[in-house]
Amino acid sequence: MLLRGAKLGRPTGNVSSVNWGGWQIFSGLRSLLTSRSGVVSVKLKIEKMRVWLLLVLCLAGSATAAPTEEEEVFVEELLTEEPVVEEPEVGANPVQIEVGEFDEAIEIVEDDVVENACLDYHCKKGKVCELDESNTPMCVCQDATSCPPAEGEFEHVCGTDNKTYDTSCHFFATKCALEGTKKGHKLHLDYVGPCKFIEPCVDAELHEFPLRMRDWLKNVLVTLYERDMDNNLLTEKQKLRVKKIYENEKRLQAGEHSLDLLAHDFKKNYNMYIFPVHWQFGQLDQHPADGYLTHSELSPLRAPLIPMEHCTTRFFEECDADSDNYIALEEWAACFGVKEQDIDKELII
**Which domains does the chain possess?**
127-192 (3.30.60.30), 203-342 (1.10.238.10)
CA distance linking residue 106 with residue 306, whole number of Å: 55
7 or 282, which is more confident: 282
Residue 82: what pLDDT? 53
Q: What is the pTM of this model?
A: 0.61
Other beta carbons less than 10 A from residue 324's beta carbon: 10
Classify 120 as helix, strand or coil. Answer: coil
Q: What is the pLDDT of residues 33-77, one digit of tens each?
A: 444 444 444 444 445 555 455 554 454 454 444 455 544 444 455
CA distance linking residue 284 with residue 296, whole number of Å: 9
Q: What is the pLDDT of residues 247-303, one digit of tens each?
A: 999 999 999 999 999 999 999 999 999 999 999 999 999 989 999 999 889 999 999
Q: What is the pLDDT of residues 204-236, one digit of tens each?
A: 999 999 999 999 999 999 999 998 866 788 999
Q: How many angstroms separate the Cα of 137 from the Cα of each of 120, 177, 178?
A: 10, 19, 22
Identify whether the C-beta of residue 100 lies closer than 8 Å to the C-beta of residue 80.
Answer: no
